[in-house]
Amino acid sequence: MAAPEEEDGAWPEVTDSGRRELSLVAGTELERRVRAAGGRLPSALGGFGASLRSLEVRGGCAYLREPGPALARLTALHTLALPGCALGPAGLSGAASLLPPTLRILDLSDNALEELPPELGGPDAGGEAGESSGALPELRLLNLRRNRLRQLGPGLARNAPALQELLLGGNCLRALPGGLLPAPGRTPPLPLLATLEAAGNELEELGAQISRLAGLKNLDVSNNKLSEIPVELADCPKLKDVNLKDNALKDKRFEKMVKSCQTKSILEYLRVGGRGGGKGKGKQDGTEREEARRKKREKPKKKANSDSEDDEAEEAQKLIVKVLHISENPAPLIVKASLAVKEVRPYIVCCVVKGMDFQTGNALKRFLSIQTKLHEDICDKRTAATIATHDLRLIRGPLLYDARPPDELKIAPLGRKEIKAKDLLRQLQLEADEQRKQKKRQNISGLHKYLQLLNGKENYPCLIDAEGAVISFPPITNSEKTKLGKTTSGIFLEVTSATSLQICKDVMDTLLLKMAELHKFTAENKDGEVDSDHESNKVLHCENSGAKTVPKNSTLVLEQVRVVDMEGNLKVLYPSKTDLATVSSLVTVIH
């Protein structure tokens, strides 16, 4: 093949090497440039290196046949979205090794893919080909909808152990989980997989192995050809929502239950030996089946009796949070998101926490230290996401998440008087430059990095209360108006990102875990009122593992917050039943 006639000047999007997001919009111009580049993304794309976090071909491109070798140089990429391209039938065969290990979201929907590389769940022809585990350790969401996949292999489970959502709807799969799960080992496969969607395939078999997905919460196998459902489905300990509609179920009573969407009833029917069950234990007599299931449940209990004291100590240390559903809240807080934020910082997740105690010891100082550390670590110096905290008593809802021109947006930043956004950024830039000179640094500081996120933006994101006051200006500052104090017990939390909604949720999950740890630590040390600043590390790791019992008031209450568009349509609800999965081993969530 002749070398593609590619000129960097033909791709003006790649000339800004400091960009964190790149969105290529569908159209004849994009198609022309992709054809000239040999059906690939331009090699100049690799010049972004570790700065680019999100790459998207918006609207698809019928001439994009493979991502191209430049992908391997994007070493910090979090999101790769290539929907509606021409990667099929096997255009990914050589691309799997190019995917950066930092990838969290991968969208390959609508690509006419007939097979995947073994690393992403394609047929594992060599048997050992997928043994190199952990190639995509950060992958949380894989979207393979509306392709032509007929089978899956175990490579995905080996290479993406942190996967939380797998979207397979609209393919040609005939069995699930089929070959998706590797042979049983010491650790369960895909332990964090909470959502498995395979609607509109050609499924004739839902295998008993589905029970090995210990973290499964949502299963959608609607619009398939299933005639029987295995009783093992009821062994999925966290399953909350199952959609079995529009199948060819033999058991008509069971089919009626499925149509009414009563998940609890569906699982109970299977559990007690309903005729919906097919292969495996489903063929046993109902009494025998329930007895076998009872023995299976009791096995781990008997094993645990030999180490009961350790189990009791571990349970005593477990953190507890209670989620107040929005329907149970007489005055839920709602956030409206305008269309204006789409081009500057589109993602926001919010939550209300009640029951924090900042009056004991240095609890408030510890909490602010936790927030600072999260900004440095998981938020990547605020460049991936930004946390904002507000005293709930000082907020008047509903709130508006909007974007305003820099010379119109005014805020009273923490520790400062009210100022226009453009003037605040100018001041902060001068302070950052001075700090850089004093420390004689050549590299860009954290402050410089997140200030640069707003470079070239016509509008700046902001959160506005019902009185018209700007209470947050992400990723720059909160407002002095809603500042936390010693008497604060109810907190409104917001996490925003220009990268992805999943990053917002991950950060919020981690923040709530740290808050639960701090709350428990403060409650246990209320009498002693530990004041040492050095205790914060102990709080973060729950090292106060003495034989103290958890106080009754150590349960934090989380109130769900809805983010809606300007017409009132739901965009995100947090925490939903599928959230907090990443910290489920440390926190007991009561819904």
Tell me the pLDDT tens digit for each residue of 229-265: 999 999 899 998 999 999 999 988 888 888 876 788 8
| Cβ-contact 239, 219 below 8 angstroms | yes
| Cβ 379 vs Cβ 507: under 8 Å | yes
Least confident of 156-160, 296-300, 586-590: 296-300
Of the segments 49-53, 153-157, 437-441, which one has the largest average pLDDT value? 153-157
Q: Are 281 and 289 within 8 A, CB to CB?
A: yes
Contact 497, 503 (CB under 8 A): yes
- Which stretch of DSSP H or E encloses residue 356? none
Give pLDDT, residue 528: 52
Whether the pLDDT of residue 289 is over 80: the answer is no
Instruction: Give the mean model confidence (pLDDT) for residues 214-226.
Output: 93
230-to-227, 275, 438, 482, 530 alpha-carbon distances in Å: 10, 10, 68, 53, 54
Say which amino acid occupies 447: L
Instruction: Round to whole Å and give the CA distance between 162 and 493.
Output: 25
**Please, which pLDDT band fits residue 440 given cuts at 50, 70 and 90?**
low
pLDDT of residue 7: 46
* Reported confidence tier of residue 298, pLDDT bands at 50, 70, 90: low
What percent of the chain is modeled with pLDDT above 90?
Answer: 42
Lowest mean pLDDT among 240-254, 348-362, 481-495: 240-254
232 against 308, higher pLDDT: 232
pLDDT score at 51? 86
Q: At residue 286, does pLDDT exceed 50?
A: no
The reported pLDDT for the residue numbered 586 is 78
* Strand bridging mode 54-58 / 21-25: parallel
What's the pLDDT score for residue 174?
Answer: 95
Q: For the residues 100-106, what does the mean pLDDT come to? A: 92
Q: What is the pLDDT confidence band of residue 282, given thresholds at 50, 70 and 90?
A: very low
CA distance linking residue 212 with residue 178, whole number of Å: 12
So what's the pLDDT on residue 273?
Answer: 64
Q: How many other C-beta atoms lie within 10 A of the C-beta of residue 385?
A: 27
CA distance 262 to 168: 23
CA 406 to each of CA 409, 420, 461: distance values in angstroms, whole numbers, following the listed order: 5, 7, 9
- Taking residues 447-460, what's their average pLDDT? 79
Please report the pLDDT score of residue 358 as a whole number: 93
Q: What value does the CA radius of gyration of the chain take, rounded to a whole number of Å?
A: 26
Over residues 365-391, the pLDDT tens digits come to: 999 999 999 998 888 888 889 999 999
* Cβ 52 vs Cβ 80: under 8 Å: no
Find the mean pLDDT for residues 442-449: 53
Q: Which of 179, 190, 184, 174 is nearest to 125 (CA)?
A: 179
Q: At residue 38, what are phi and psi to the nearest 5 degrees? A: 80, 30
Lowest mean pLDDT segment, chosen from 210-224, 270-284, 411-425 = 270-284
Quote the CA–CA distance of 282 and 238 in Å, as a whole number: 21
DSSP tag of 217: -
pLDDT of residue 367: 95
Say whether 21 sits in a helix, a strand or coil: strand
pLDDT value at residue 130: 39
The encoded tokens of residue 156 equal 């995905």
Residue 164, burial from CB neighbour count under 10 angstroms (0-12, 13-18, 19+): buried
Judged on CB neighbours under 10 Å (0-12, 13-18, 19+), 375 is: buried
User: Residue 160 pLDDT more than 60?
Assistant: yes
Alpha-carbon distance of 426 to 438, in angstroms, equals: 18
- CA dist 573 and 591 (Å) reads 14
Mean pLDDT of the 161-171 span: 94
Report the alpha-carbon angle 466-470-471, nearest 5. 90
Among 215-224, 267-276, 376-385, the range of highest mean pLDDT: 215-224
Most confident of 3-17, 69-83, 92-106: 69-83
Distance CA 544, CA 538 (A): 7
Give the pLDDT mean for 11-38: 80
For residue 457, what are its two tokens?
A: 């933006």
217 — pLDDT class (breaks 50, 70, 90): very high
Whether the predicted pLDDT of 148 surpasses 80: yes
| Per-residue confidence (pLDDT) for residue 439, from 0 to 100 | 66
Which three-class secondary structure state does DSSP give residue 44?
A: helix
Decide if pLDDT at 542 tops 70: no
Question: DSSP letters of 111-129?
Answer: S------GGGT---TTSST
Share of the chain above pLDDT 70, in %: 80
Q: Taking a C-beta distance cutoff of 8 angstroms, is the pair 551, 576 a contact? A: no
**Greatest mean pLDDT among 465-469, 551-555, 580-584:** 465-469
Mean pLDDT, the chain, rounded, equals 82
Average pLDDT on 404-430 reads: 90
- The residues pairing with 411 across neighbouring beta strands, listed in sequence order, are 419
User: Beta 470-473 vs 460-464: how paired, if at all?
Assistant: antiparallel
Residues sharing a CB contact under 8 Å with residue 544, sequence separation 6 or more, in sequence order: 521, 524, 525, 538
Lowest-pLDDT range of 459-468, 571-580, 581-590: 581-590
CA 474 to CA 470: how far, in whole Å?
A: 11
Strand, helix or coil at 79?
A: strand
Q: Give the pLDDT band of residue 465 (cuts 50, 70, 90).
A: very high
Q: Which range has the top average pLDDT, 124-133, 229-238, 488-497?
A: 488-497
Would you state the pLDDT for residue 2? 41
pLDDT of 561 higher than 70: yes
| pLDDT for the residue 293 | 53
Please check the confidence at residue 313 and state whether its pLDDT lies above 50: no
The 10s digit of each residue's pLDDT in 185-203 is 767 889 999 999 999 999 9
Number of other CB atoms surrounding residue 20 within 10 Å: 19
- The answer to pTM > 0.95 is no
| pLDDT at residue number 338 | 96
Mean pLDDT, residues 458-486:
94
- pLDDT above 60 (res 356): yes
Q: Which residue has the higher pLDDT, 251 or 529?
A: 251
State the alpha helices, DSSP H only, in 306-349.
Answer: 308-316
